[in-house]
Structure 1
């Protein structure tokens, strides 16, 4: 599964490294994390992924901006050491809020913020208040539980709706059965609505009784093409066509005389499109 998006997202993985996991199962967790990483374009202008491991005392394994490409990040995952200790999930949730979701730790102000908890047991401390604080600060939380994890606790930690953000499997080998579903939901969260920057400054010119020109300013990021959509204000057939990415204007032809039209222009990359740049234009008599 590949997540095709130009969005910026900061994803923080919070991994349970307590004794109950065990070294053999921890290797399975590493493989699970690698599958998630593989789906995204990693880099300072795209998706950044940091990781903290916890048991009794949480520790940052690497900050969000530590790995600037996928190869480096996958190498770090492969070398992730096993910590050992107790299961203090609440303490760990507070830790990533205070230590990792910070600009000085590589978080970008405009990036989407996502946290993914991976745990195999019920927490030995309170998780409700720490998870609420993260969500209140705009972090979307996913919770992955394995074996002895408490489903009610996972749902309490995760962002609503539960069916998208909460996963619970019977054993470590079953992680492979949920990784695609999790990655798809992660990708949708990273993309969000109106991911791409829209064009700006719509101008209508060169009006005739059957046509007018539509012009716009391009967004700061490159696009594959533009989509132009138009239809009569009074109601009628909606029409659309694509415009080459190097062009920033086009002429709408075969219009009705002295008629007003709604015009929407979208930036497009792959199958993604921006919010529309909206305007109206009117033909002459």
Structure 2
């Protein structure tokens, strides 16, 4: 079930309701990628001032994990009810301390819930180069709402996605799950959250920050090995060194003799991702070898197979097929 209902001990609420300056402000999302995040916060009357304070601290917890700077992550914020308002643009706060100060003093707006208008507002006003958006940054919008929109949200959400903006939707209390699903990017289990009370926002903050960090980093390119060198050859050994491939979890080396008097089987060596130098041993003197090196990304799948028993002379050889 895509709706995420979290039941936690009430004692955890104290952690969420603490001052944003008491939050752990250490950067936990380590990346060199540039990202522009716009928070779209529902400030309608149904939320109330006490719950709006909880939202402020929820936002502060999210912000605290990122490296806030003009060269890394920028975060803007718009608040909406009947009419949206930009509280600050992407390039307004160049440090985490300044951004947390702004969050701590974010005023409560009040009004009705016009989510569709607000989504169109951030597309037209916040995701713009004039507002600090960078052309090559990863662009992410994060909606936080507690109710059903009183206007259309499907087409405006689609327009944001068509403009390369990844959308997260966080619903609380009376939020409409179908609307959250329509707004959020796929897959829902990463981009959509729905809790039945403001005090349970604390239970999703770690998960959403991890997923946001992964969105900012983007897919890891499957890079190849660089600059392989063979050196220190002896009559029966040689060493091979190479440059590390970014993101590799290991390396596989295949080698075989290419000028031996008899056909040679290909040999295999596997090492971990931290290894970039191996020695090949028990080689044949005065023999050339072909060496191929592959970077591995992810864990290998392993299995076993067993051959059939030899058939009696003249009997057909049984064959096994897929189950």
TM tier relative to shorter chain:
0.7 to 0.9
- Which of the numbers 130, 144, 163 marks the counterpart of 1:104? 130
Contact map agreement 2:40 2:78 (CA 8 A) in 1: yes
TM-score, length basis structure 2: 0.69
Cα RMSD after superposing both structures: 3.0
2 CA distance for matches of 1:251 and 1:187?
32
Question: After superposition, what is the alpha-carbon deviation per residue over 1:144-167, rounded to whole angstroms, capped at 9, x for unaligned?
Answer: 111111011111100111121111
Show the counterpart of 1:24. 50
CA distance in structure 2 between the partners assigned to 1:215 and 1:119 by the alignment: 48
1:11 aligns with 2:37: yes
Q: Structure 1 residue 186: deviation in Å? A: 1.4
Alpha-carbon spacing, 1:213–1:187, altered in 2? closer, same or farther (3 Å): closer
Q: Equivalent residue for 1:236?
A: 268
Which of these residues, 43, 65, 73, is aligned with residue 91 of structure 2?
65
Change (3 A) 1:175 1:251: closer
Distance in 1 (alpha carbons) for counterparts of 2:95 and 2:212: 19
Change over 3 Å in CA distance of 1:237–1:138 after alignment to 2 = same
Gaps of 5+ in 2: 1-23, 256-265, 298-323
Question: Which stretch of the first structure deviates more once superposed, 107-116 or 90-99?
Answer: 107-116
User: 1:259 corresponds to which residue?
Assistant: 290
What is the Cα deviation at residue 227 of structure 1?
A: 8.4
Query: How many Å separate the matches in 1 of 2:38 and 2:202?
Result: 20
CA offsets per residue over residues 135-191 of structure 1, 9 Å max, x none? 111111111111111011111100111121111111222211221121122122222
| Distance in 2 separating the partners of 1:227 and 1:204 | 18
| TM-aligned CA deviation for residue 253 of structure 1 | 3.9
CA contact (8 A) 2:115 2:151 kept: yes
Partner of 1:135: 161
Q: Show CA shifts across 1:20-49 (max 9, x none).
A: 111121111101100101111111222111
Question: Following TM superposition, by how much is the alpha carbon of 1:83 offset from its aligned partner in structure 2, in angstroms?
Answer: 1.0
Q: Does the CA-based 8 Å contact 2:144-2:170 persist in structure 1? A: yes
Residue 181 to residue 203, structure 1, CA distance change in 2 (3 Å): closer
Secondary structure of the structure 2 residue equivalent to 1:34: helix
Provide the aligned length of Structure 1 versus Structure 2. 252
Residue pairs, 1:124-203, within 5 angstroms: 124-194=150-220, 202-203=226-227
Counterpart of 1:281? Answer: none
CA distance in 1 between partners of 2:280 and 2:117 (Å): 65
1:83 matched residue in structure 2: 109
After superposition, give the CA deviation of every residue in 1:40-68 in whole Å (9 maximum; x if it has no partner): 11112221111011111111111111111
